[in-house]
A and B are shown apart, each in its own frame.
Chain A
Amino acid sequence: MALKPMDKRNGFDSRQALWAAIRRMQTFTLRTLREETVLRLDSVREYVVGLEKAGFIERTHESKRPGDPVVWELRKDVGVEAPRVRKDGTQVTMGDGCKNMWEAMRILRIFTARELAVAASLPECLVKEQTAIDYTYHLCRAGYLKKSGNGYIFLPAAYTGPLAPQIQRTKRVWDPNQQKVRWRSDEEAGNDER
């Protein structure tokens, strides 16, 4: 799927949109799914193949001749959150560290970067202290965290939803819950034409 930074994608998470459409329709073909979501055919196909491999959907009708489309049906509905699967059906693990930190800081409320890294680490996904330092630094700039001594405080009101804010390569903080850029670095802000 497209690897453009989130804020360049018209605030549109294609995986989430496809999943929502599949849950609405229950049975679908690539074509009806594409009509429903207005996405490019290859991104639709990629996600559908991944979902099938992972067992979330099943074919109920095979294509017998050209023009006779394959029909899929939703088999494993896991709720609103779109399964994060790759084309081969395996779990997407990118961003798991940030996801765990975002969740952990809400529970810890008061923490240092090291405490956050420890709390957010699972045997299958370790979070390095440096990663936690970078993440907290950016979230603090973006107003989610308040500095307190050499630690941070997470204010309950700063919680915007289950999706972890992302630090983009362009050094912006993107909040996928609110679908907006929460912070951008000074140089970049200076370059903005106003």
Chain B
Amino acid sequence: MKEKGKKTDFTAYTVAPLANVSLCASAVERAMQRPGHLPGMVCMYGPAGWGKSKAATYVSLKHRGYYIQCQETWNGRAILHYILQTMGIPPKQRVWEMAEQACEQLAKSGRPLIVDELDKLVEKKSVELIRDLFEGSGAVILLIGEQGVYDKLKRWERFHRRVLEWVQAVPVDIEDAAHLRRLYHPEVEIAQDLLERITEVSDGSAGRVCLNLAQVAGFAADVGMESVCLKDWGSREFLVGGSRGRRYGA
């Protein structure tokens, strides 16, 4: 099958074609190639379950980023501690020394910093620390937050102004749903009409599409079908909103 000298493109086997992943990845790439006088922070925001963290994972692996997921309890020291941990650098004692260590590594490596669940910092002064890290390193910083983060950040005007691009996450569409099916349930065909229905009931959430796809795939396995359409599915129920709890297996 393999042609000689021609590299096969394996993008189809990754999350890269998903709308939110490609939006986020291209914004980060633009920031990495920006002219020197422009700020280098990119902020992606949108409702929970829309695939923001998937996008962050992809960007992090693709550009060997330093990824941290903020916690409610974190202060400035904690943020720096975790950043240095992901860098593999033993933290020095004082906070300013730790900030210097992190800035040096960011600047030299040219790798992006990815701050997920930014909401948890947004009420605190520690958001200013993220800005300091940017100013001290010039590194690209990808911020990920919930829907309201755009407005909440307005309070920190200097921070707000350093954001090169605001990326609003988009709701899941039928193409995303078809791609998610290929990625997670390659063993079962799902007809276009059923995919459309799943996209519709999932209310924009890629996470919910995945759960519904899993239900359909489970059903197909139970009755021994290799391909399912809306008629086969009949009036069985879908998962629509409410609890986003995750379940594994039956």
Seen from chain A, the residues whose Cβ lies within 8 Å of a Cβ on chain B are: 77-81, 100, 103-104, 106-108, 110, 112, 114-115, 118-124, 126, 148-151, 159, 161-163, 177
Contact = CB atoms under 8 A, between A and B. Distances in A.
A123 B60 CA distance: 14
A148 B248 CA distance: 8
Nearest to A151: B248
Contacts, number: 82
B85 A115 contact: no
Contacts of B15: 118-119, 121
B67 A123 contact: no
Interface residues of B, number: 35
A149 B210 CA distance: 17
B248 A80 contact: no
B69 interface: yes
A73 to B, nearest CB: 16
Contacts of A177: 88
A120 B16 CA distance: 11
Interface of B: 9-11, 13-16, 53-54, 56-58, 60-62, 67, 69, 85-89, 104-105, 108-111, 116, 183-184, 246-249
A163 B61 CA distance: 13
Nearest to B89: A80
Contacts of A78: 108-110
A100 B111 CA distance: 15
A118 B108 contact: no
A151 B110 CA distance: 35
Given A100-B61, A126-B13, A119 B248 contact: no
